[in-house]
Amino acid sequence: MPTTKQTSLTELAEPSHDQQHQHQHFKIFKPYGFLSQFLPESRKKKHLLGELFNFPEKTMAIGRLDHDSEGLLLLTTDGMMSYKVRDKAIEKEYYVQVDGVITVAVISQLQKGVDIAINGTKYLTLPCKAFKLDGEPQLPSRGRKIRDSRHGPTSWISITLCEGKNRQIRKMTAAVGFATLRLVRVRIGDIHIDSLIAGDVVTLANFDAALNR
């Protein structure tokens, strides 16, 4: 597993005049405790994406991961690309560690959709893909202890959504009686987190094509 930030060879070359006017795209492993933004919130001292890499001007995050969520986040200087990635046709897959031993019946509930609250209004989530993982997935350490194992067993599940309501997965697992302990996004379309570790940044030539290979 790499221990240093990953960069493409193209970053080492001096860009041509034409390249300077082309949009740039990135995939990163957003660490725990970082906001998915570049501008700070008022009176809040939180880690921001600009601390991870010298991104070009007008780089924006596509969608977001919450402060306490981790994993794959796409960034671009092309605002139109943001609409494509957030489309419901593009799947987003997450690995979720939950408190307790999850059952087949609970997985079925998640697949069919559960009621959660969105801005104080009840919302039924769309049908999704969900299954229990065989053991703990190969992910880098979060850097902050989840909890003491003496507090009981945990389970890992995969949930794939085509929507993205505020804190949706945490609300979904809570609705079926399982608190989310760790949440890591591992895939957007056909772009995967691969072997990245927290804070890694990789330049992508064209993730428009990679989304739907």
Do residues 204 and 132 both lie within one domain? no
Q: Would you say residue 22 has pLDDT above 50? A: yes
Do residues 149 and 106 both lie within one domain? yes
Q: Would you say residue 123 has pLDDT above 80? A: yes
Residue 178: which CATH number? 3.30.70.1560
Could you count the other beta carbons within 10 Å of the beta carbon of residue 90? Answer: 16
Do residues 81 and 161 both lie within one domain? no
Q: Which domain holds residue 181?
A: 92-188
CA–CA distance, 65 with 184 (Å, rounded to integer): 9
Of the listed ranges 17-26, 81-90, 177-186, the one predicted with least confidence:
17-26
Q: Would you say residue 162 has pLDDT above 70? A: yes
Residue 13: which CATH number? 3.30.70.580
Residues 189, 93: contact at Cβ < 8 Å? no
Name the band, by pLDDT with cuts 50, 70 and 90, for residue 86: confident
In a domain, 4, yes or no: no
Q: Output the CA torsion sign for 189, 194, 200, 204.
A: negative
In a domain, 3, yes or no: no
Average pLDDT, the chain: 86
Do residues 136 and 80 both lie within one domain? no
Residues 154, 99: contact at Cβ < 8 Å? yes
Do residues 144 and 61 both lie within one domain? no
Which token pair is 112?
Answer: 């069919």
Give the predicted TM-score (pTM) of the model. 0.85
- Which of 76-80, 166-170, 207-211 reaches the highest mean pLDDT? 166-170
Active site residue 68: no
Do residues 184 and 98 both lie within one domain? yes
Instruction: Please name which of 10, 9, 1, 27 lies closest in space to residue 197, comparing C-alpha atoms.
Output: 1
Domain count, the chain: 2
Which member of 18, 66, 190, 200 is catalytic? 66
Do residues 103 and 175 both lie within one domain? yes
> What contacts 31, CB < 8 A, 6 or more positions away?
47, 52, 70, 143, 198, 199
* Residues 97-112: tens digit of each pLDDT: 999 999 999 999 999 9
Q: Percent of the chain having pLDDT more than 70? A: 85
In a domain, 1, yes or no: no
